[in-house]
Amino acid sequence: MREVTCFRFIGRAEVYAIISVFHMLLSSMTNALSILQNTFGYDAFRSPQDEIIDELVQGRDAFVLMPTGGGKSLCYQIPALLREGTAIIVSPLIALMQDQVDALQQLGINAAYLNSTLKVGEARQVEQQLMQGELDLLYVAPERLLNEAMLSLLERCQLALFAIDEAHCVSQWGHDFRPEYQKLKILHERFPNVPRIALTATADQRTRDEIISQLQLEDARVFINSFDRPNIHYAISEGNNPKLRMWRFLQEHHNNDAGIVYCLSRKKVESIAQWLSEQGRTALPYHAGLPQEVRQTHQQRFLREDGVIVVATIAFGMGIDKPDVRFVAHLSLPKSIEAYYQETGRAGRDGEPANAWMAYGLQDVLTLRQFMQNSKADDAHKRVEHNKLESMLGLCELIACRRQALLGYFDEVLEQPCGACDNCVSPPEKWDGSEAAQKVLSTIYRTGQRFGVNYIIDVLTGKQDKRIQQNAHDQISTFGIGSEFSMTEWRTILRQLIALGYIHVDAESHGALKLAELSRAVLRGEKMLQLRKQSKEEKLATEKKKKSPVRPQDEPLWEALRALRMQLAEEAGVPPYVIFHDATLQELVKKRPTIIADMRYISGIGDQKIKRYGKKFLTEIAKYPLADLLDNRLSSTVNETLLIYQEGSSIEQIAAQRDIKVNTIYSHLADAIEVGLLEVKDVLDLKDSEYQEITMMIESLEDESKGRIKPIYEALDEEYEYGIIKCVQASI
Ligand SMILES: [Zn+2]
Per-residue confidence (pLDDT) for residue 612, from 0 to 100: 93
**Ion ligand 1 — residues with CB under 5 Å?**
401, 403, 417-418, 421, 424
Report the separation in Å between the CA atom of 403 and the middle of ligand 1, taken as the mean of its atom positions: 5
Of the listed ranges 313-317, 591-595, 643-647, the one predicted with least confidence: 313-317
pLDDT at residue 15 is higher than 80: no
Per-residue confidence (pLDDT) for residue 283, from 0 to 100: 97
**% residues pLDDT > 70 (the chain):** 94
For the domain made up of 232-360, give the CATH fold: Rossmann fold (3.40.50)
Is residue 498 within 8 Å of 361, Cβ to Cβ? no
Per-residue pLDDT of 235-275, as tens digits, reads 998 877 899 999 999 999 998 899 999 998 899 999 999 99
pLDDT at residue 95 is higher than 90: no
| Mean residue pLDDT across the chain | 88
Per-residue pLDDT of 685-719, as tens digits, reads 888 889 999 998 888 888 877 778 888 898 888 88
- Kindly state the average pLDDT of the residues 437-455: 93
Report the separation in Å between the CA atom of 230 and the middle of ligand 1, taken as the mean of its atom positions: 10
CATH 2.30.40.10 for domain 552-626, yes or no, is no
DSSP 8-state class, residue 258: -
pLDDT at residue 208 is higher than 80: yes
Question: Domain extents for the chain?
Answer: 2-224, 232-360, 366-397+429-536, 552-626, 636-731
CATH class for domain 366-397+429-536? mainly alpha
For the domain made up of 2-224, give the CATH fold: Rossmann fold (3.40.50)
Report the separation in Å between the CA atom of 467 and the middle of ligand 1, taken as the mean of its atom positions: 46
Q: Could you check whether 366-397+429-536 and 552-626 share the same CATH topology?
A: no
326 burial level (CB within 10 Å; 0-12, 13-18, 19+): buried
pLDDT at residue 543 is higher than 70: no
Per-residue pLDDT of 551-585, as tens digits, reads 889 999 999 999 999 999 999 988 898 899 988 99
Per-residue confidence (pLDDT) for residue 542, from 0 to 100: 38
Report the separation in Å between the CA atom of 108 and the middle of ligand 1, taken as the mean of its atom positions: 42
Higher model confidence: residue 379 or residue 341? 341
Of residues 70, 68, 92, 58, the one with CA closest to residue 161: 58
Rounded distance between C-alpha atoms, residue 683 and residue 678, angstroms: 7
Report the separation in Å between the CA atom of 728 and the middle of ligand 1, taken as the mean of its atom positions: 45
Report the separation in Å between the CA atom of 532 and the middle of ligand 1, taken as the mean of its atom positions: 16
pLDDT at residue 683 is higher than 60: yes
Per-residue confidence (pLDDT) for residue 53, from 0 to 100: 96
Higher model confidence: residue 536 or residue 320? 320
Per-residue confidence (pLDDT) for residue 546, from 0 to 100: 52
Of the listed ranges 112-121, 159-168, 509-518, the one predicted with least confidence: 509-518
Binned at pLDDT 50, 70 and 90, residue 389 comes out as confident
Per-residue confidence (pLDDT) for residue 111, from 0 to 100: 97
Is residue 228 within 8 Å of 412, Cβ to Cβ? yes
Of residues 70, 63, 26, the one with CA closest to residue 45: 70
Report the separation in Å between the CA atom of 347 and the middle of ligand 1, taken as the mean of its atom positions: 18
Report the separation in Å between the CA atom of 234 and the middle of ligand 1, taken as the mean of its atom positions: 8
Report the separation in Å between the CA atom of 421 and the middle of ligand 1, taken as the mean of its atom positions: 4
Report the separation in Å between the CA atom of 414 and the middle of ligand 1, taken as the mean of its atom positions: 10
pLDDT at residue 174 is higher than 50: yes
Report the separation in Å between the CA atom of 235 and the middle of ligand 1, taken as the mean of its atom positions: 9
pLDDT at residue 445 is higher than 80: yes
Measure CA 303 to chain center: 16
- Kindly state the average pLDDT of the residues 431-459: 93
Per-residue confidence (pLDDT) for residue 317, from 0 to 100: 77
Report the separation in Å between the CA atom of 12 and the middle of ligand 1, taken as the mean of its atom positions: 57
- What values do phi and psi take at 704, rounded to 5? -70, -45
